[in-house]
C-alpha cells in the first residue's frame, strides 16, 4: 500500500470517528423524548365550518354565466379555481379561490369530478384567459373511444 493511500485511509477514519462523537454528543435525533399521547390527552380540536364573513373574505364571488362567456359577453376579470357554486338555475354564483394555486381533483367514480368541477373550471379558464392543463390517467385507447 502506498503512502498516499495510507494517509487517505487515516483521514477517513478520523472523519468517521469525529462523526460518531458528534452524533453521540448532540443526541437530537432520538425519539426518546416524545411522550406517547392518547387521543384526548390534553388535545383540543378547533375544526368548524366557516362563517359567511370568512367565506366572503376568502373567496371572490362571480356570476357563473358560461352561455354569455361563450359569446364573448360579460367575461370575468378574475382567475382562479371554482371551489363552490351557490344559487339555482340561471342565478348561479361561483366562489373562486384567486390564490396562486395548483389543483388536484381526486374522487371516486360518479361523484361529479367532471360535471361539477372540471367543466365549470374549464369554462372559467377559457373565459378569463387563464392557461390550464387537464389530464385523464385512465389510459383510454383512441381506437376504443365511441
DSSP three-state, residue 38:
coil
Report which of residues 3 and 29 the model is more confident about: 3
Question: Residue 63: which H helix or E strand, with range?
Answer: strand 60-63
Q: Which residue has the cell 394555486?
A: 101
- What pTM value is reported for the model? 0.60
What's the pLDDT tens digit per position in 27-77?
A: 665 566 556 655 555 566 677 898 999 999 999 999 999 999 999 999 999
**Interval 97-121 mean pLDDT:** 87
Sorted by where each begins, the domain ranges of the chain are 1-28, 59-128
pLDDT higher than 80, residue 94: yes
Q: Which of 137, 105, 107, 106 is nearest to 121 (CA)?
A: 105
All residues at 6 or more sequence positions from 110 whose CB lies less than 8 Å from its CB, including other chains: none
**Measured over all CA atoms, what is the biggest interatomic distance in the chain, rounded to whole angstroms?**
87
CA 35 to chain centre: 31
What's residue 16's pLDDT? 94
pLDDT higher than 60, residue 120: yes
Report the chain's mean pLDDT, rounded to a whole number. 83
Amino acid at each position: 500500500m502506498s503512502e498516499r493511500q495510507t494517509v487517505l485511509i487515516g483521514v477517513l477514519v478520523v472523519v468517521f470517528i469525529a462523526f460518531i462523537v458528534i452524533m453521540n454528543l448532540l443526541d437530537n435525533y432520538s425519539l426518546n423524548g416524545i411522550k406517547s399521547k392518547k387521543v384526548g390527552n390534553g388535545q383540543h380540536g378547533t375544526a368548524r365550518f366557516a362563517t359567511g364573513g370568512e367565506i366572503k373574505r376568502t373567496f371572490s364571488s362571480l356570476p357563473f354565466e358560461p352561455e354569455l362567456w361563450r359569446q364573448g359577453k360579460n367575461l370575468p376579470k378574475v382567475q382562479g379555481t371554482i371551489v363552490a357554486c351557490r344559487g339555482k338555475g340561471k342565478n348561479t354564483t361561483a366562489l373562486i379561490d384567486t390564490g396562486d394555486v395548483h389543483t388536484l381533483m381526486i374522487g371516486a367514480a360518479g361523484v361529479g369530478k367532471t360535471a361539477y368541477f372540471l367543466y365549470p373550471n374549464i369554462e372559467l379558464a377559457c373565459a378569463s384567459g387563464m392557461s390550464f392543463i387537464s389530464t385523464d390517467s385512465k389510459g383510454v385507447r383512441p381506437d376504443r373511444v365511441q
